[in-house]
Amino acid sequence: MQIDNIDVQAYPGSQKIYVNGTLYPDMRIGMRQINLTPTVKIGDDGHKITTPNAPVVVYDTSGPYTDPDYKIDINKGLPRMRDQWLNADSDLEQLPAITSEYGRMREADKSLDAIRFPNRHAPRRAREGKHITQMAKAQQGIITPEMEYVAIRENLNNAQLGIPTYITPEFVRSEIASGRAIIPANINHPEAEPMIIGRKFAVKLNTNIGNSALSSGIEEEINKAVWSCYWGGDTLMDLSTGDNIHETREWIIRNCPVPVGTVPVYQALEKVNGRVEDLTWEIYRDTLIEQAEQGVDYFTIHAGALKAHAEMVGERLTGIVSRGGSIMTRWAVLHNEENFLYTHFDEICQILEQYDVAVSLGDGLRPGSIHDANDRSQFLELDVLGELTQIAWRHNVQVLIEGPGHVPMHKIEENMDRQVRKCAEAPFYTLGPLVTDIAPGYDHITSAIGAAQIAWLGTAMICYVTPKEHLALPELEDVRVGVITYKIAAHAADIAKRLPGAEVRDNAMSKARFEFRWKDQFNLSLDPERAKSYYVSSQEFDEHYCTMCGPNFCAMRISQNLIKDCDKHVF
């Protein structure tokens, strides 16, 4: 199988820049620099006065795709950037081949050659008895390359602006050591650029892609993955539940510059043809290894949805709306046994630790309607997630806690407060929440309202919702709208949290707006192309008013004249 190389546009008016590390000087952290045109004024003597505007450097999730010097080759995969560090780590061993049974079976199946990613690598694993996760190293006092990488990435242009760079590599290390932040970075996903999730850092956003039994092929999913990174997705979950999950995932991971997450029980269920009762710990365990060796950076594991919770489901208006939660609860009831993810959680952590896969503790009982928000099953499960956090940390496994869902605004704060308290400040990762149930087709908006609020209160990562939520799988346009909507929510939260430097881009935009520098406005936009396409005008860009108000009613134009009048001491 050969996949056509996708066409990724460079960001308009921008250039890819690289900043070098200090502790690790060979390190190159990619960023996007938006170059601005100068401010031009006409002086009293009629001469033009030109003042340059400093470029704005912004966080860049697009990886090598927007580097004009990089030749995209989807069939080869992205450069394995972290190999340089991982190869030097004597705590890691290079395995001769993948070890999962299912993975080996797929490898041996000739009929899959046609759809297989061509450029596969044998996996790495921790040597026996070695503790290799970012958390383990942080607790040993080691500043890893990944830690310096994210420290530089988070600071952006603060130094240039004279803002103190409080995000030092040592600060990152201490946040990772405490469990308050994570760097999801599987040793088998060296293509991904390190990033950090924690409430003292910029709010991150996750996007979901993946096929279902009813739709979508490999090429389409890769396109969605790259598209998501291009628009600003910080991490990517592959939620495929259809055919060829194993092969689809390989293509995605090898071409994905951001951490990739999955919900392993989806694939485990496919392996037993969708029959919940046939799920076993052995099949699930092998799935974890299969995916860890492919390079999945974090697993959503619904280990907190217990059998006792199943009895409470009848109290609810919308039962269980988490796929993983409903599967595991039903399994527990059918077998009259406790959820095997809970009973085997210690063993799960032992596997995850060997590859530095982070665990994202799934909220299988998240409310699926505002009616069910903050009810007893939701909060009982959160208590269990708190217990599981401590178990994971004992194994040096990095932890995220997943959160709702559907929550009316006045019940959002309690979610955040309880999560911090019950889960010892492990980073919170929420889906929205949607603040009303009545707007299918617009749930990116109902959920962005809740996401902005909960992120302001401390949620470290928000999971996007697209306009197709509740209705169908997202297509490319939905991914774009979902990502931009969540960039808005995340950025609004960064500003409200008063992260140093968060307003730089806003201020540059507003200055450009006041000075009618239209091209700069577009280039500074989260979606330059769309902004420009809406600016319908027969005029050239430098006209000093816009099509919204026309020349006589442009407040900014009148306001500029006003400032000139005041300068001339008219009164």
Residues 451-510 that bind a copy of itself (CB under 8 A): 452-453, 456, 467-473, 484-485, 487-489, 491-493, 495-498, 503, 505-507, 509-510
Shortest Cβ 534–a copy of itself spacing (Å):
4
C-beta of residue 207 within 8 angstroms of C-beta of residue 93: no
321 binds a copy of itself (CB under 8 A): yes
Task: Determine if 558 is a binding residue for a copy of itself (CB under 8 A).
Answer: yes
The label of the residue with tokens 């092998």 reads 286
Q: Least distance from C-beta 1 to a copy of itself, angstroms?
A: 24
CB 492 to a copy of itself: min, Å = 4
Part in contact with a copy of itself (CB under 8 A); list of ranges 11-19, 135-143, 170-178, 439-447:
439-447
Tokens of 44: 């009293």
The stretch near a copy of itself (CB under 8 A) out of 135-143, 198-206, 281-289, 440-448 is 440-448
* Paired tokens of 157: 């242009």
- The helix/strand/coil state of 194 is coil
Please, which residues bridge with residue 40 across strands?
Answer: 50
**Size, binding site for a copy of itself by CB under 8 A:** 119
Residue 273 CB, nearest approach to a copy of itself (Å): 8
| Residue 433 · residue 471 · CB < 8 Å | no
Other beta carbons within 10 angstroms of residue 338's beta carbon come to: 15
Among 1, 6, 17, 439, binds a copy of itself (CB under 8 A): 439
Residue closer to a copy of itself (CB basis): 64 or 367:
367
Signed CA dihedral, 419, 421, 424, 425: sign only: positive
Among 294, 374, 398, 521, binds a copy of itself (CB under 8 A): 521
Closer to a copy of itself by CB, 1 or 439: give it.
439
The only residue of 91, 274, 350, 421 in contact with a copy of itself, by rule CB under 8 A = 274
Residue 266 binds a copy of itself (CB under 8 A): yes
Compute and round to an integer the Cα radius of gyration of the chain: 25
Q: Taking contact as CB under 8 A, which single stretch among the options 104-112, 192-200, 323-331, 349-357 is the one that binds a copy of itself? A: 323-331
In this chain, which stretch among 24-32, 197-205, 270-278, 422-430 interacts with a copy of itself, using CB under 8 A? 270-278
DSSP-derived pairing of the beta strands 124-126 and 92-94 = antiparallel
How many whole angstroms separate alpha carbon 192 and alpha carbon 94?
A: 19
**Does residue 429 bind a copy of itself (CB under 8 A)?**
no
Spell out a b/e string for 18-29, using b for 16 or more CB atoms within 10 Å of the CB, else e: ebebeebeebeb
| Residue 555 touches a copy of itself, criterion: CB under 8 A | yes
**Residues 211 and 160: beta-carbon distance below 8 Å:** no
Q: Which of 236, 187, 283, 226 is nearest to 72 (CA)?
A: 226
Q: Which of 452, 494, 519, 4 is nearest to 218 (CA)?
A: 4
Q: Residue 448 interacts with a copy of itself (CB under 8 A)?
A: yes
Judged by CB under 8 A, does residue 441 bind a copy of itself?
yes
Residues 345-374 that bind a copy of itself (CB under 8 A): 368-372
546 contributes a contact to a copy of itself by CB under 8 A: yes
CB 317 within 8 A of CB 371: yes
